[in-house]
Amino acid sequence: MFKPLSILLTATVILSSCSSDDDADTTNPVLEVPQNYTFTREGNSTVDFNGQTTRIAMAEAISSSLLDFDNATEASIMAQFTHTAGDADFEDAALNASDKNVRSKVAASVDYYNTNAVQSQAIKSTFDDYIAKQVSEVFPNQNVVAIAGTAGQIADGTRTRYVSATGLEYNQAFAKGLLGALMTDQMLNNYLSVAVLDEGDNRANNSAGVTAEGSNYTTMEHKWDEAYGYIYGASQDPTNPNATIGEDDGFLNEYVGRVNDDADFNTIAETIFDAFKTGRAAIVAGDYVTRDEQAAIIRAEVSKAIAVRGIYYLQQAKTKIEAGNQTGAFHGLSEAYGFIYSLQFTRNPQTDAPYLSAVEVTGLLGQLMGDGANGLWDLTADTIDAISESIAAEFDFTVAQAASVD
């Protein structure tokens, strides 16, 4: 059904792509970009990313279960990962009722995996293995002090960490890897994909204001909002998410916030949010050139955040290793492991390919674990620097910038 387009604005910034005052608005639309992510039709919000909010909550619950030594089993964690509607897999009844699950959306983007089912399945199996190994290797050694070659616990300041025989925290590799394989891949390579946004009659329907069946939004608007949900879906105020950026989940939201805290990157959160708002306003205006320009900005900046944080954890770990605290470095290295893994899901807007390919990522992880038979127990500062430089070389920042804390 046809419904007229409108935007509710508390404050607006007027953007125009006109090259001169004589240009026609029909070919150079004027965009009304709201101060907040607030878009309406006939007085009702057109923004909906409920599925992304649900999957973020499921991912948080699974991450917690990976350290639930007293109650979790491989079967129970896998049930959460592969959830079926109506199964009592979570403490939250709303999650149990949901027909969503996490595993089905891992490495499932149209642009990267639509014709690559073998690689998609291999990536899903990697996460299956993290769950299986956490339960089979780490759970039985909960109260064993880890040493090289033996899984168990290590002291990390006032915290206790639980590592594999090679020093890797499977739960951290899972969570930080999911940040890439789920949130980043779905955002950058699926919902912001031209193939998804313009699928079928989406562009014609959006231009004509034809809404999706039973909904108040056009299909194109909804796809863009779903991308938005993978970074802001758990925000305290999703219309103004940068007010609490970094505090609202343990995935992209948290780490965009952490990167934004660094003076070298302290505009990244604003840049990403502004691109989402502008791209959404462009969809309302039927300006698909601007829409795609904003998607390119989001791809570059989200990818950068992942790379920065990966190097940050590597360099923080190097400082501990150089101080003689090898085990104290394991937590940061485990987080770095997941961020490096996530680089294969990034998207360089200049090439439409990951900043680092799956083969390159596998090579870097092999370096990280390959200084000796015992993995992180044998890792050297020189290897950390080599990996850090390899990552930074693909981006527009230095290792020193990524390594800083302010």
With a cut of 50, say whether residue 190 has pLDDT above it: yes
Domain coverage including residue 114: 45-403
What pLDDT, in 10s, does the model give residues 222-269? 999 999 999 999 999 999 999 999 999 999 999 999 999 999 999 999
- Flag whether 248 is in a domain: yes
In angstroms, the CA 158 to CA 210 distance is 57
Owner of token pair 């969570």: 175
Domain assignment of residue 21, yes or no: no
Residue 194 resides in a domain: yes
Helix (H, G, I), strand (E, B) or coil at 13: strand
Residue 18 belongs to a domain: no
Provide the token pair at 89: 């897999």
Q: What percent of the chain has pLDDT over 90?
A: 91
Q: Which amino acid is at 343?
A: L
Query: Span 44-54, mean pLDDT?
Result: 98
Residue-level pLDDT at 30: 80
Which whole number is the average pLDDT over 181-198?
98
Give the count of domains, the chain.
1
Question: pLDDT digits over 340-392, tens only?
Answer: 999 999 999 999 999 999 999 999 999 999 999 999 999 999 999 999 999 99
Q: Is residue 334 part of a domain?
A: yes
Does residue 24 lie in a domain region? no
pLDDT 10s digits, 306-317: 999 999 999 999
User: What are the backbone dihedrals phi and psi of residue 353, each rounded to the nearest 5 degrees, phi first?
Assistant: -135, 165
In a domain, 360, yes or no: yes
pLDDT band at 18 (very low <50, low <70, confident <90, very high): very low
d(CA 349, CA 329): 34
pLDDT at 6 over 70: no
Residue 16 lies in a domain: no
